A and B are shown apart, each in its own frame.
Chain A
Amino acid sequence: MKNEVVILVAEDDNGHFALINKNLARAGLHNQIVRFADGQETLDFLFPTNDDGGREPHTPYLLLLDIRMPKVDGIEVLSKIKQDTELRKMPVIMLTTADDPREVERCHRLGCSIYIVKPVKYENFMDAVLKVGLFLSVVEVPHIDDMGGPDETS
């Protein structure tokens, strides 16, 4: 993964975000990390309605997405992303406490890249994020242009 890839982290829990941030760095990633504390903030960034803030065109993004978040939950965020012809290219990694086969099925149908249940034990959670970070350093991430729209075919 190239340095210009921006890692987006949608996570309402401060402790979890700190752990994710720390372990991605421990994996040797020096990418910019942008955090959103709920689903609405995530959507506001991805689908900006004015010129103030929001994502940059022609930039590669990757999203770590929690499910249980205030205002708009992660499944709705995932669904909106994968319905957009441009944004759907962005890899979305679900990182959630929800260990429910129906949610796994739903997220994979919507088009998440992978679904990871947050390990309960602190050390295991650290180790999981470290492995995610090391893996991300070998993947290619597409850039996202500004012109997208709803997918008419689905």
Chain B
Amino acid sequence: MMEKVVIIIAEDDEGHFELVKRNLWRSCVDCEFMHFRNGQEVLDFFNGKGPQSTTVQDSRYILILDIKMPKVDGREVLQTMKADPQMKKIPVIMLTTTDDPEEVQRCHEIGCSFYIVKPSDYTTFMEAVASLGAFLSIGGIRVPCFERKPTTV
């Protein structure tokens, strides 16, 4: 991407997070990365709450979203975001161990951009993330600007 984009990885598994970040970073060296460990943290961030609220308000985001996470799961995050008039424009890529075709249907109904099943084999998983990274590095990709709600004190 030519524009500065923040890639948010919502992933409760530390090992998976490291693998995803490392392999995305190889292609998207100019991107900023953020990590959240559960769905609530993601929603809080976009709503301008929580510890990350002091960072830049206006930015372009792409969310990489796991489904099985504590507190608020990925599908609920997707649902909340796509029902919100502002958050709905943020591209959300599901990256999950859930390979249930029903879940693929549901997430696309709600409005995910893409759905990737984490391969159980380590090397294949790395390759899948590398393909995602190469895709996100395409110079012509354009992401709309999102203005996070101002922090309420």
Contacts and interface: CB of A to CB of B under 8 A. Distances in A.
Contact of B91 (A90, A114, A137, A138): A114
A39 interface: no
B144 A105 contact: yes
A111 B99 CA distance: 23
B109 A88 contact: yes
B122 interface: no
- Classify chain A: how many residues form its interface, as a range: 20 to 34
Contact of B143 (A104, A119, A137, A143): A104
Contacts of B138: 116, 128, 131-132
Interface string A88-122: 11110000000101001100110101111111000
B142 interface: yes
Contacts of B144: 101, 104-105, 108-109
B113 interface: yes
A137 B89 CA distance: 25
Contacts of B132: 135, 138
Contact of B105 (A114, A117, A135, A142): A142
B31 interface: no
A124 interface: yes
B108 A89 contact: yes
Contact of A114 (B116, B141, B145): B141
Interface residues of B, number: 31
A138 B140 contact: no
Nearest to B139: A119
Contact of B142 (A88, A99, A113, A131): A99
A108 B62 CA distance: 12
A119 B101 CA distance: 35
B121 to A, nearest CB: 13
A140 interface: yes
Contacts of B104: 140-142
A134 interface: yes
Contacts of B35: none
Given A89-B109, A142-B108, A137 B142 contact: no
Interface string B118-153: 000000000110011011011111111100000000
B41 to A, nearest CB: 23
Contact of B139 (A101, A113, A124, A138): A124
A147 interface: no
Interface of A: 88-91, 99, 101, 104-105, 108-109, 111, 113-119, 124, 128, 131-132, 134-135, 137-143
17 contacts: A88-B109, A88-B111, A90-B108, A99-B142, A101-B142, A104-B142, A105-B144, A108-B143, A111-B111, A113-B114, A114-B113, A135-B134, A138-B128, A139-B114, A140-B101, A142-B105, A142-B109
